[in-house]
Amino acid sequence: MAKRYGGAYSPDSAASDQPTQGAPSTARPRAPLHNARPARAGARVNLLFLAPLPLVGLAFFRDPPQMALSLAGAGLLLAAAWLTREGVAAHAAYDARKVARRPAFPRKIFASVLTGAGLAAAGLVQGSMVEAAIYAGLGVALHLASFGLDPLKNKGAEGVDTFQTDRVARAVSEAEAQLAAMSEAIDRVRDRRLSDRVERFQATAREMFRVVEEDPRDLIAARKYLSVYLRGARDAADKFADLYRRNGDATARTDFEALLDDLEQNFAAKTTALLSDNRTDLDVEIEVLRDRLAREGVKMDRD
């Protein structure tokens, strides 16, 4: 018989010994990285920080004007790399949300311009103006081709006034802050199973965020969940982490896990309810359209 490998310190070993603890009985099992996406601002952007660094060292073996140009070029290229990272992260955040405003400051486009300026400065050290201009043009074009433009349009805000979307965005970012504080508290305990458990609850909560973002009218119904319950969960996680770190109280842990189960079930149920509201909306829409069509038909008969 095949048996899953696992030792005493494997992350899931305790859970498989006591199948009743941890996961709520009704929740479907979820992969740990469910809905997660790899961060785009990874190694590729970091290499942009490394590439101009030799320029700093080389600057000190050159004449003063060349040194100034080299240092200016290095500074501009490093600033461009930093802006690129910010821009890629902002774009990822834009993609993750259903409703998002375009960034107020187009970081990636500006990073392309900075890259061009940095290359021009570095190219002027030995080259002519024409050569520097060619490097700048190439740099801008290549940067734009590899990182793309920033999102230039608002997303998902059609037909909904900005006041409503702003309210939703604010509520969601406050809720995200509570989730982050909760993770921070639980990470203090240094227990991987607990961290996983909290992450699973957070994934359920985030599903609700996405539903609310999709239909801002749901915010009124979900408000209590996004503020009161999440704040309560955060406070509970904080107090539990302090207590459990001090004395490793097993009952406190069971209680906390039970609380997470309850919260998760409630959040999931509310999310389903919100979605079925949308379903009702759809039904009404269909009904109204059908009625109107039928009336048109009658009118045509009369004509």
Q: Give the Cα separation of 274 and 89 in Å (integer).
A: 30
As measured in angstroms, the least distance from the Cβ of 275 to other proteins is: 14
- 115 touches other proteins (CB under 8 A): yes
Looking at 115-123, 215-223, 283-291, 292-300, which segment touches other proteins (CB under 8 A)?
Answer: 115-123
As measured in angstroms, the least distance from the Cβ of 15 to other proteins is: 28
Best CA proximity match to 34, nearest among 206, 157, 184, 191: 206
Among 48, 113, 189, 222, binds other proteins (CB under 8 A): 48
Best CA proximity match to 257, nearest among 180, 191, 179: 191
- 37 touches other proteins (CB under 8 A): yes
Q: x/- binding map, residues 62-91, to other proteins, per CB under 8 A?
A: x---x---x--x---x----------x---
Cα 68 to chain center, whole Å? 40
Number of residues that bind other proteins (CB under 8 A): 37
Best CA proximity match to 25, nearest among 275, 250, 257: 257
- 97 touches other proteins (CB under 8 A): no
Which residues within the stretch 221-240 sit at the binding site for other proteins (CB under 8 A)? none
Tell me 21's DSSP state: S
- 47 touches other proteins (CB under 8 A): yes
Query: What are the CB-based long-range contacts (under 8 Å, 24+) for 216-219?
Result: 216/99, 216/160, 216/164, 216/165, 216/167, 216/168, 217/164, 218/274, 218/277, 219/164, 219/167, 219/168, 219/171
Q: x/- binding map, residues 120-149, to other proteins, per CB under 8 A?
A: --xxxxxx---xx--x--xx--xx-xxxx-
As measured in angstroms, the least distance from the Cβ of 223 to other proteins is: 26
As measured in angstroms, the least distance from the Cβ of 243 to other proteins is: 39
- 271 touches other proteins (CB under 8 A): no
Torsion angles phi and psi, residue 155, rounded to 5: -120, 135
Task: List, in order, residues 6 or more apart from 104 with CB less than 8 Å away.
Answer: none
Q: Give the Cα separation of 182 and 186 in Å (integer).
A: 6
Among 52, 87, 106, 216, binds other proteins (CB under 8 A): 52
Beta bridge partners of 100: 155
By C-beta, is 143 or 253 nearer to other proteins? 143
Amino acid identity for residue 297 in this structure? G
- 55 touches other proteins (CB under 8 A): yes
What residue ranges bind other proteins (CB under 8 A)? 37-38, 40, 44, 47-48, 51-52, 54-55, 58, 62, 66, 70, 73, 77, 88, 95, 115, 119, 122-127, 131-132, 135, 138-139, 142-143, 145-148
